[in-house]
Amino acid sequence: MNLLDKLKNEILIADGAMGTLLYSYGTDCCFEELNLSEPEQIQSIHRAYIDAGADVIQTNTYAANYLKLQRYGLEDSVKEINSAAVRHAKAAAQTNAFVLGTLGGNRGVKPDSITIEEIKRSFREQLYCLLLEGVDGLLLETFYDLDELETVLTIARKETKLPIIAQVSMQEPGVLQNRTPANDALKRLEELGADVVGLNCRLGPHHMLLALEQIELPKRAYLSAYPNASLPAYTDGKFHYEGDADYFRKSAQSFRNQGVRLLGGCCGTTPEHIRAFAAGLKDRTPVVEKVVKLERKQISIEEHAPKRDYEPLQDIVKKRPSVIVELDPPRKLNTDKFFEGARAFKEAGIDALTLADNSLATVRISNESLGYLVKQELGMRPLIHIACRDRNIIGLQSHLMGLHTLGMNDVLAITGDPARVGDFPGASSVYDVSSFELIQMIKQLNEGLSFSGKDLGEKTAFSVAAAFNPNVRSVEKAVKRLEKKISYGADYFISQPVFSEEKLLEVYEATKHLAAPIYIGLMPLTSSKNAEFLHNEVPGIKIADSIRERMFALNDNPLQAAREGVEITKQLIDTALDLFNGIYLITPFLRYELTLELALYTKERAREQRGNSYVETTIY
């Protein structure tokens, strides 16, 4: 009798976590490699689950694919590791349990980090290894990305008639990370040929049962559930789970009532949890009918338009010349000079004061706090830079919600310089998301939905700028990135500083087809040393040889060198205003008097070029 025949008439108990036990034993390495180096330990865990009541066990192959094994330099051992894993599981099972070949998901919160083609190649290699060793079925588990799961399920279904269990992992109870309802996702997996569809990981019994309440019984397939033991705790540098096994016993009947026919455990579960499930299911007769009142989640977002204090910059710059100025938050706690400069820029009538997010990974006063003070005390528009480097997804969303609450709607989404280049080279760079994904997530907040698809109750009103680096060998390739950022939701662009008229012309020709406007970056050089440092050591900045030569000629005269830097920038402004409406002035070393002069010059030159038709419309 095969697995599906058994599931027709009874609920089966599956095993629990493999990695949790190996981790608890002090093994903190590649768990799948232990199939080769510690075969008895692997078989011992399998036998412990079978002795606890498991009818179905899975091979120790969750991460035994090329993509994940290459982290340990084991990418050439895919066949050896998977083959050994199946042999160990079968040796432990004998005739007492079914053996499922496990294949885990690769994509997590960053779907674009791995291409579908890479996933296909890696999946096929592992799949063939498991099939050749004669598993009783396949378990596709812990897939956060539905596209990935649908792709590999389609491949597996074409390659074998063995039973296939396909399980998704949810961000919120009942909802996948792309906002697909779990019920809809499982229906799609059944249509693609899965014999068992279900949920695993991320959530404990309570929240998984809440999700199952909204899931209908499949028409042909069966339901499965592999909850976590609990939420993980982190103590003394180690993760651990504190879930009570008796809690699993008490919830077992509830899983049966929701139509689950294959019930096992995921992260944090042990043989004790599986024994508890088995003890709690005295009646193994499956539920064949289930009434589900599908409650389509009604988003309670306010219908009125989100409040904005200023006209979006992307609209302003399409109508008239616009000047924005970057004034970095100070590295020290004294803010007198910063606010002195900010007041001067307000009087000059710039459209926004932009504040970097610890540029070059250098610690500065929070741009959020200074932005709020600039808005409240000076009545100026702050444009807040947001780097992916310092905050995980939780921190990014919290930060953005805070900006919304404080009425700061203008943001620049950037990747951020790696932590190792700054004050604390030993600090971690987070990079949970790329700048592309951050843009997309911010636009999702504008729909009133969190990163995980949760209703936020109202919409944000963010205007999203994206970064543009024109100082590259191929501007055409850089423009392709701009087009991609537009597809992710970017409203307009702010460029790295440009230091030659030739580059301005090149950028104009390469970007004139784009619908999203560009604020072209310009920064006055202060000395030859400054020019050489920027050119040779700062990512994304290149300075023409002729400019560096002009600055070098004044190497012994600091005051004149700074004047020369301003004059060079004025020449660039003259050319830039013929090509772009947006001018982005970057203040070096809080020397705001330099960019103030340039801001006033830009506005005057714009009046001259456009005659009396240029009208001030700055909103305060």
User: Residues within the annotated binding site for Zn(2+)?
Assistant: 201, 266-267
Name the phi and psi angles at 447, rounded to 5. -90, 0
- For residue 489, the tally of other CB atoms under 10 A from its CB is 19
CB 341 within 8 A of CB 497: no
CB 135 within 8 A of CB 59: yes
CA 203 from centroid of its chain's CA atoms: 20
Helices vs. strands in the chain: H and E counts, helices first: 23, 18
Q: What is the Cα–Cα distance from 415 to 3, expressed in whole angstroms? A: 48
The pair of structure tokens assigned to 480 is 């392709």
The three-class DSSP label of residue 593 is helix
CB 313 within 8 A of CB 383: yes
Q: What is the Cα–Cα distance from 498 to 507, expressed in whole angstroms? A: 10
Name the phi and psi angles at 221, rounded to 5. -80, 180
Which among 244, 299, 250 has a CA at the least distance from the CA of 279?
250
The two beta strands, 98-104 and 352-355, are unpaired
DSSP alpha helices (H): ranges in 446-591?
475-488, 501-511, 528-537, 545-552, 558-579
Q: What is the Cα–Cα distance from 239 to 39, expressed in whole angstroms? A: 25
- Strand order in 137-143's β-sheet? 12-13, 260-263, 222-226, 196-200, 164-168, 137-143, 98-104, 56-58
Can you give 102-120 as a three-state secondary structure string?
A: EEECCCCCCHHHCCHHHHH
C-alpha triplet 462, 466, 467: angle, nearest 5°: 150
The three-class DSSP label of residue 352 is strand
C-alpha triplet 415, 340, 356: angle, nearest 5°: 0
Q: What is the Cα–Cα distance from 132 to 246, expressed in whole angstroms? A: 39
Q: What is the Cα–Cα distance from 58 to 217, expressed in whole angstroms? A: 24
Q: Inter-axis angle of helices 116-132 and 78-93, to 10 degrees? A: 40
Whose structure tokens read 């050439």?
A: 76
Q: What is the Cα–Cα distance from 20 to 7, expressed in whole angstroms? A: 27
The two beta strands, 322-326 and 12-13, are unpaired
Cα–Cα separations (whole angstroms), residue 500 to 333, 378, 542, 570: 36, 34, 10, 11
The two beta strands, 238-240 and 260-263, are unpaired
HSE-up (13 A, CA, CB side) for residue 619? 10
HSE-up (13 A, CA, CB side) for residue 3? 26
- Which residues define the annotated binding site? 201, 266-267
- For residue 427, the tally of other CB atoms under 10 A from its CB is 15
The pair of structure tokens assigned to 277 is 């499930």
